[in-house]
Amino acid sequence: MTVKIAIILGSTRPGRNGEAVAKWAQEIASRRTDAEFELVDIAEFKLPHLDEAIPATMGQYTHDHTVAWAEKIASFDGYLFVTPEYNHSTSGALKNAIDFLYGEWNNKAAGFISYGSVGGTRAVEHLRLIMSELQVATVRAQVALTLNGDFENYSTFTPGAHQQGALETTLDQLVSWTKALRTVRTDA
C-alpha cells in the first residue's frame, strides 16, 4: 500500500513566500511513484488560537475546526513541513496548528523545507524539538532556502538548481522512514 504524505504549508501571512515553495515541492514530489503527496494549507482550516479546553493528548475535540483538522492530519502517514523563519523560530500559525492535535501525529515521519535570511534552519531546529514530543521521527536531510539566494527581490521564488537535489534527498529519506514507521503504527 502506498504511503500518503502531506506537504504542510505552514504560513498564513498575506503574500507569503511559502505558497510558491509548497507548490514547487508538490510538483517535484508528484513525479514520484513511491508515495502520494497532497498539499495541505493550514490557512484553509481557519484555526483560531488554540481553543480546546481538554489537552490534545486526550483526543477529545469539541470544535468542528479541530475535528476537521484532526481528520485531515490523521489521514497521512508522514509530513513535509514548509516553514518560514520568524524571529529564529517557526511561524506562530504553524505552531498553533500543530498544538491542536497529539495522537494524529504519533509514530509518523517528518521532513522540512524552510526559508528565511539564513535558510530558515533555526525554525527547523525548533520544529524538530516539537516533533520529538509528538513522537514524530524527523529525517536528517532538509531544504534550506535563503531569501537572498532563492528568491528574486526576496519575494519571487527562483530556487537554485541544487535545491531540487536537496528536496529529492529529503523526499527519499522521508518516504523510507514513513514506510518503516507504518509497522510501528500497525503493531501499536
Q: What is the pTM of this model?
A: 0.97
Average pLDDT value for residue range 98-107: 98
What's the grid cell of residue 157? 521564488
Residue 188, pLDDT above cutoff 90: no
**pLDDT score at 178:** 98
Identify the CATH class of 3-187. alpha beta
CA distance 3 to 179: 7
* pLDDT tens-digit series, residues 75-102: 999 999 999 999 999 999 999 999 999 9
Q: How far is the C-alpha of 48 from the C-alpha of 140, rounded, in Å?
A: 32
The domains of the chain are located at: 3-187
**CB-side exposure of 73: number of CA atoms within 13 Å?**
28
Distance in angstroms (rounded) separating the CA atoms of residues 117 and 85:
8
Q: What is the pLDDT of residue 187?
A: 80
Query: Phi and psi at residue 48, in whole multiples of 5°?
Result: -75, 180
Rounded to an integer, what distance in angstroms lies between the CA atom of residue 66 and that of residue 83? 21
Contacts of 155 (CB under 8 A, 6+ apart): 15, 17
| End-to-end Cα spacing for the chain | 18
Mean pLDDT, rounded, for 22-26: 98
